Amino acid sequence: MKRYYFDHAATTPLAEEVLAAMLPFFCEKYANPSSSHALGRNVVASVDEARDALAALFGRKAKELYFTSGGTESDNWAIKGVMHANRDKGRHLLVSAFEHPAVLETAAFLSREGYEVEYIPATPQGFVDLDALASMVRDDTVLVCVMAANNEVGTLQPLREAAEIAHKKGALFFTDAVQAVGSVAIPKEADLFSCSAHKFYGPKGVGLLCVREGVRIERLLHGGHQERSMRGGTTPSPLVIGLWKAASLAIDGADEETSRVRTLRDRFLRGVLSLPNTALNGDSERRLASNANVCFYGRRGEILLDNLDMRGICASTGSACTSGAVHPSHVLLAMGKKEEAESSIRFSFGRDNTEKEIDEALEIIASVVKKK
Ligand code: PLP
């Protein structure tokens, strides 16, 4: 059966060019980059080159970048590391209510440790409520977290404005940019940001945390002297090279890819929204070009998703299934969309999708939706 992969927000296939760049670092240039012998020095030169190139791509300094295992680790580190290292300023943490669990669960953990965590509400269009943020930020607020692009509804957040509000009170600003690389630039106002290679055609298991020079942060992993003693553990050189290559392809080719994917996504939306009882979740303009989060009123998202899967369409709901229980999307609930929270599906498009696939998938969706 043909499979239609419309789940690029969950992960993307590794690009062939990325694999080619990584391959020599498995069996030929395999030395530990921390080894002082010639083979090790060879590898560390490539890792340093990758760090310099990534810094240039993101407009940051090489010494501000730390390689991690991906988005979840970077988010954990940013939040725990900053809150722990800045206890003299306060214990107040603000996170937007529709963050990824990597942020929300970290915040919940800190709250159990005695930190004061508050959640910034969202607007019905899927944006962080800036007025609410302005009224919530305090002199003892250490960190404000607002993601760059929401992973469920794709809305692009007003990062500059949010960072400005945080900075006025002396708070630091962190953005989870996991969904944003290759789509929108991460503004210089962000004191910290995280990203993850597998979201932009790179390998799984590697990401970045960028920490502006001068920001106080505690290390997350105690161990060797890798990553300037801030994150112990042997540097995964093939993954780092993959991250570099994937980020350069994604950022350098961003304009072209964004307009191609937007055309596909809009073609999909025209078709799907012509079906009865459907609506788009989240703002129609300020959103990722790849994202279409659609509500099918009166249907259960997870059942519809299973039916689509049986016909070859791979998409996802915002809900997570835990031991048989289905939870409504916390993102849509935060936007005040109670009904939509149980009846929506996220379709996210990417590099390999074609117009033909969109048209075929629309026919399948129409026939699945017609069946009660
Ligand atoms: N943050 C966001 C916004 C995400 O979408 C994801 C993954 O879906 C993560 C963090 C976690 O990233 P990783 O899979 O690299 O741990």
The letter for the amino acid at 211 is V
d(CA 272, ligand 1 centre) in Å: 27
d(CA 11, ligand 1 centre) in Å: 9
Q: Which two three-digit tokens encode residue 4?
A: 């239609």
pLDDT at 372 over 80: no
pLDDT band (50, 70, 90) for residue 326: confident
Whether residue 71 has its Cβ less than 6 Å from ligand 1: yes
Instruction: Output the pLDDT for position 323.
Output: 61
**Widest CA span of the chain, in angstroms?**
67
pLDDT tens digit string along 258-305? Answer: 999 999 999 999 999 999 999 999 999 999 999 999 999 999 999 999
Whether residue 288 has its Cβ less than 6 Å from ligand 1: no
pLDDT band (50, 70, 90) for residue 324: low
Q: Which two three-digit tokens encode residue 230?
A: 């801030």
Give the CATH superfamily of 4-13+254-370.
Aspartate Aminotransferase, domain 1 (3.90.1150.10)
145 is catalytic: no
pLDDT at 142 over 70: yes
Asked if residue 219 lies in contact with residue 80, where contact means CB atoms within 8 angstroms, the answer is no
Q: Which two three-digit tokens encode residue 127?
A: 């944006």
pLDDT at 320 over 70: no
Q: Which position among 27, 195, 314, 321 bears the catalytic label? A: 321
Question: Among residues 320, 321, 265, which one has the least CA distance to residue 294?
Answer: 265
Instruction: Output the pLDDT for position 318.
Output: 72
Task: State what percent of residues in the chain have pLDDT above 90.
Answer: 96
pLDDT at 136 over 80: yes
pTM of the predicted protein model? 0.97
In CATH, the architecture of 16-252 is 3-Layer(aba) Sandwich (3.40)
pLDDT at 322 over 70: no
* Residue bearing the CA closest to ligand 1, atom 13: 71
pLDDT tens digit string along 22-78? Answer: 999 999 999 999 999 999 999 999 999 999 999 999 999 999 999 999 999 999 999
Kindly give the pairing relationship between strand 172-176 and strand 141-145. parallel
Whether residue 346 has its Cβ less than 6 Å from ligand 1: no
Average pLDDT over residues 145-163: 98
Task: State what percent of residues in the chain have pLDDT above 70.
Answer: 98
Q: Where are the domains of the chain?
A: 4-13+254-370, 16-252
Whether residue 291 has its Cβ less than 6 Å from ligand 1: no
Angle of helix 237-252 relative to helix 38-58, nearest 10 degrees, comes to: 30
pLDDT at 126 over 60: yes
Is 16-252 in the same CATH topology as 4-13+254-370? no
Annotate 101-122 with three-state secondary structure. HHHHHHHHHHHHCCCEEEEECE
d(CA 232, ligand 1 centre) in Å: 22
Q: What is the mean pLDDT of the chain?
A: 96
Instruction: Output the pLDDT for position 80.
Output: 98
Q: Which two three-digit tokens encode residue 181?
A: 């690389």
